[in-house]
Structure 1
Amino acid sequence: MNGLILVPTDNERRLIESSLRIESDQWTVKTIGFGVIAAGIATTHLLLSERPRQVILAGIAGLFPGPSTETLRLGDAIWFDSVAIDGIGVGQGDAFVDAADLGWRAESEAAPTETIHLPNPPQSRASIAQPALLLTVCSGSADEDDAARRLQRVPNAIGEDMEAYAVAYACQSAGVPLRVVRGFSNRVGCRDKSDWQIAPALESVAEQLQQVLDGETS
């Protein structure tokens, strides 16, 4: 098998596949589940059973506010060049202390929250200055205060998701290159789903994927 396209949920997968044309048997789309635990386990299983040469993670994400995202709007999709994780450590809210700051690692080991850099992300149609970092969390930001605290800890975060770091960690451990494309369905911290743009975001994801698939089969 050449490649796997991994999507967290069945709903995301249906919306992506409805706009995606796969004319080659070199790519297979799989659902890996919602959240870091399900995504990490499912990705590891697929890496062992399918032996892909490359992996793409696709789905939705929240969009952080800030100068680096001023050119982006809900419904846009971009490729990320790095992923990090927030929430591994001690405490909640303003009392939170990251695992790396606690010294939770052996001298020979990377910190459990170390940023993972992704190889050669394709060019995104949406305009954004690099780097493009995706922040994975176990619990999405509940409000603007949550989002602000996360940006304070990870100032260069562009998007918030709940799977990418687990998938990236599994792929890095297996030596399989990973690319990540996410469509922005909502503002980070906005829980009012009437303001979300899930379908347009996933249509943009499918467009980005199609460019990659067409480029590799041409």
Structure 2
Amino acid sequence: MRVLIVVATAGEAARLTDLPADVVVSGVGPVAAALATASALGQGRYDLAVSAGIGGAYPGSGLVPGDLAVSSRIVQADLGAWDGGAFLELDALGLSVLPEGAHAGVFDVWEEAQALAARLGAAYGPTLTLSTVTGSREGAEGLTARYPGALTEGMEGAGVAHAALLAGTPALEVRGVSNPVGPRDRAAWRIPDALAATRRGLEGLLAGASG
């Protein structure tokens, strides 16, 4: 199985370049991730596109820094409109991320995702993509109320998933947890542990793919 791995930064990629997969550094955010993924998928056939890297864990997820999360679906969680205190998703607005058909920015994932999570001992649930990192407890709790069971927050997953959908390629998000989502406390971040968890997840994915 030929796998494309898309990460936001060179620091994340540096831990992965020896893996038996193609690793692309996209830059930060869903637009950068979508453009890089589309470019790579346009140059060759892949069996799976993976958005990988570090991320924050939502309240109630049970995840702590160093844990691993595998997506059950990938959600572009800030795409919609605020109406007073209510957030309206695209389907409520009669809009879609696709030029034809209805699609509210909630992307299905690779059919083997749940089995992979079980094999890795990883959490399995929705992963959310936002263009702006959540910086308050209230914001984090609001997102988990809208998307029950949400595990992690990242900035690229939905971009990778969108480009993969248009190319007809399955997608997946794998996140190592570096910090809780909420007030920014850089002293509490455990980036090396998160990078190690991300690598562990990708090693497990690739070992299963070649087995």
Q: Which amino acid aligns with 2:102?
A: A
Is contact 1:119-1:179 (8 Å) kept? no
Is contact 1:7-1:31 (8 Å) kept? yes
Question: What is the percent sequence identity of the aligned residues?
Answer: 30
Q: Equivalent of 2:182, from 176, 180, 189? A: 189
Which position in structure 2 is the counterpart of 1:32? Answer: 26
C-alpha deviation, 1:49, in angstroms:
1.4
Which position in structure 2 is the counterpart of 1:4? Answer: 4
Q: Equivalent of 2:154, from 139, 148, 161? A: 161
Which position in structure 1 is the counterpart of 2:135? Answer: 142
Once the two structures are superposed, residues 67-102 of structure 1 have per-residue CA deviations (whole angstroms, 9 ceiling, x without a partner) of xx22x3211112212111112222388353222222
Q: Could you list the structure 1 runs, at least 4 aligned residues long, displaced by more than 3 angstroms after superposition.
A: 124-128, 215-218
Q: Which amino acid aligns with 2:188?
A: D
Q: Equivalent of 1:49, from 22, 34, 43? A: 43
Once the two structures are superposed, residues 37-73 of structure 1 have per-residue CA deviations (whole angstroms, 9 ceiling, x without a partner) of 111111111110133232222101110111xx22x32
Which position in structure 1 is the counterpart of 2:105? Answer: 113
**Equivalent-residue separation in structure 2 for 1:217 and 1:90 (angstroms):** 43
Q: Secondary structure at 2:28's aligned position in 1?
A: coil
Query: Taking structure 2 as the reference length, what is the TM-score of the superposition?
Result: 0.87
Q: Which amino acid aligns with 1:103?
A: G
Q: Which amino acid aligns with 2:204?
A: Q
C-alpha deviation, 1:211, in angstroms:
2.1
Q: Secondary structure at 2:106's aligned position in 1?
A: coil
Structure 2 counterparts to residues 190-209 of structure 1, below 5 A = 190-209=183-202
Structure 2 counterparts to residues 38-77 of structure 1, below 5 A = 38-66=32-60, 69-70=61-62, 72-77=63-68
Q: Which amino acid aligns with 2:68?
A: A
C-alpha deviation, 1:137, in angstroms:
0.9
Is contact 1:33-1:39 (8 Å) kept? yes
**Equivalent-residue separation in structure 2 for 1:78 and 1:93 (angstroms):** 33
Which runs of 5 or more residues in structure 1 are unaligned? Answer: none
C-alpha deviation, 1:143, in angstroms:
0.8
Q: Which amino acid aligns with 2:90?
A: A
Is contact 1:93-1:146 (8 Å) kept? no
Q: Secondary structure at 1:91's aligned position in 2?
A: strand
Which runs of 5 or more residues in structure 2 are unaligned? Answer: none
Q: CA RMSD in A?
A: 2.4
Is contact 1:81-1:120 (8 Å) kept? no
Which position in structure 1 is the counterpart of 2:117? Answer: 123
C-alpha deviation, 1:123, in angstroms:
2.6
Query: Taking structure 1 as the reference length, what is the TM-score of the superposition?
Result: 0.84
Q: Which amino acid aligns with 1:53?
A: D
Q: Which amino acid aligns with 2:76?
A: I
**Equivalent-residue separation in structure 2 for 1:197 and 1:92 (angstroms):** 37
Q: Secondary structure at 2:151's aligned position in 1?
A: strand
Count matched residues: 207
